[in-house]
A and B are shown apart, each in its own frame.
Chain A
Amino acid sequence: MSFKRLDPEDFLVSADSLTAPAWSNYSASLTAATMVTHASQTGGPSGQYYTNVYNLIESNPNAEAQFAIAYGDLKGSGSFLYNSSIPGLSPSRTVYGQFVNLLLGEDEGASLNFGGPAANDQTFIALVINRARYKQAIKPGSFQLQLSAFAPFITDNSLITPTVDYTNAGRRYTLGSGSFGDGRPFGAQGVFGYLYPDVGVILLNPSAVGSTPTRPFNNTANDATNFEGRITRFFLQSEETVTSDFVFCRARNAEFNYSINPSFSVSASAGSILYNDFIQNPVTYITSVGMYNDNNELLAVAKLSKPLKKDFTKEALIRVKLDF
């Protein structure tokens, strides 16, 4: 017998949370020197809506988008109108409605609320983290943003808040002044913004972080690209839950002590065992573990890093981990 059935207790499903720096090559932070925009993107059709920030220059084939910056405006200022005869409808207005819909679950007539002067609720800067960078979620408490000409460090309040707000876009943490999760209220312009870790979005209140937009109409103020130039350091970590399926394969002392390996016999066609000693005291070496379904189809295979000796005096327990 070569195939051994697994019992229910031989399986274990375990979910483990993994966190790591979000940026490419596991860089702990992006700095002004390691953030670039690509002219082909900012000058292209998508550049009307957002600015992608990369880790390497455009000519480098290894360049990867790290995050995007989008500017939203309830009145549609800061970008060209789609049609000059229809006021207020522009890419910045589209971006505003898009995020209101995503984050508040409202139609585009609703507005955000940063808790300061009402005029501040009409604009925002969204940092949209590339999905491959934040994996399943942004790790709360890992976000810290440093801007030029703005002394406070911007971070979330996950370490100090007693409760977590649950919104249409999942968890929401308020941004304030501090470092790594202890963001506290600062100034009279309302909160710095919000962190939505489950959708990889950081929404900033421009007026509270020293980026009050000039809001020209039917003109590109390039607020997103301008904001990229203000970032001096950006810390972020990703968070993901990896579900692992552990399979425990047990070889009892009397099992798996012979082999159909052609070198185990004198002649593959006759089947006589290679050494007389092996007739009473066979020795085999386990190098591979195969996982099969009921039809003996090989679904997964595991290789040991070194051969594992097996004979009638030994039992083996091999733990195979399958990640999904």
Chain B
Amino acid sequence: MGYLNNSIVTVDAILTRKGRELLARNDGSFRITQFALADDEIDYTMWDPDNPLGSTFYGAAIDNMPLLEAFPDETQAMKYLLTTLPRGTSKLPILDVGYQVISLYQGASIAITPQTLNYLGGTQTYESSGYVATIGDVRLLSNFNGVGINTAQATALNSTTTLGAAVSKTVVGTTINMTATTTNALFPEGITQLSTSLIVIGRDSGARIVIPVQLNKNTNC
């Protein structure tokens, strides 16, 4: 990791871990069809609307800040998406999945149905395009799929898993189903809890929430 040279504006692009995985899969899933913009690293509290030099200088503390290079970990990049909302919006969309932390014992299941608050005038909405859910380490789950969005791409996505090392998995749906693995081999000697994170993003709103996921070992087995 390093800083990018910001004496000129450049764009430094890299493939993510997920991009490399899909490229290796060679099944057509590595196909760029859309983009999003994000403002990771920006702290808007540094915007100074009281700057005595005038509005030109409100963003002086942000305008020329150096930025870090891109991260190849897809769960650590593009955290805070820019979103298109009607002018005059006073409240930003927020996701609510009903959990602050998801804690599962081996073999236990849970279904999550995210909702979006403050979106398009509604206080509580289910987004019509559904939600993207990414689990940081898919090994912790024996089942991870999304239901409710019945496009061919979503169906294919929900049925594909890459085996091996700790890789993420992404699914699409209005409800996300998770079942914790029963495999004991993942737990190192003396460790009874494993952790990862679940990232849920509204496909329409761009709202994002990160929920810690804990997998607890059934010690009575």
Contacts and interface: CB of A to CB of B under 8 A. Distances in A.
A6 B32 contact: yes
Contact of B35 (A287, A292, A304): A292
A322 to B, nearest CB: 6
Interface string A245-273: 00101010011111111111100111111
Interface in A266-298: 268-275, 277, 279-280, 282-298
B16 A299 contact: yes
B interface, over-half SS: loop
A interface, over-half SS: strand
Contacts of B40: 261, 287-288
A257 B16 contact: no
Contacts of A299: 15-16, 18-19, 22, 30, 32
B147 interface: no
A293 B12 contact: no
A3 B68 CA distance: 23
A270 B82 contact: no
B88 to A, nearest CB: 6
B105 interface: no
A303 B90 CA distance: 29
On chain B, which size bracket covers the interface? 35 or more
Contacts of A296: 34, 132, 170, 172, 201, 203
A320 B11 contact: yes
Given A1-B204, A263-B42, A292-B33, A302 B11 contact: yes
Interface string B71-92: 1101001101111110111111
B195 interface: no
A287 B12 CA distance: 11
Contact of B13 (A1, A293, A322): A322
On chain A, which size bracket covers the interface? 35 or more
For the complex of A and B, 8 pairs with smallest distance between CB atoms: A2-B206, A302-B13, A299-B19, A256-B82, A261-B80, A290-B78, A306-B6, A2-B81
29 contacts: A1-B204, A1-B206, A2-B82, A5-B33, A6-B32, A249-B35, A256-B82, A256-B84, A258-B89, A260-B206, A268-B94, A272-B90, A275-B49, A283-B47, A286-B38, A289-B36, A290-B36, A290-B77, A291-B34, A293-B31, A296-B170, A297-B18, A298-B78, A301-B74, A301-B77, A302-B11, A304-B11, A306-B6, A307-B65
Interface of B: 4-6, 8-16, 18-19, 22, 29-45, 47, 49, 58-59, 62-72, 74, 77-78, 80-85, 87-94, 117-118, 132, 151, 153-154, 157, 170, 172, 201-208
Interface of A: 1-6, 11, 247, 249, 251, 254-265, 268-275, 277, 279-280, 282-310, 312, 318-322
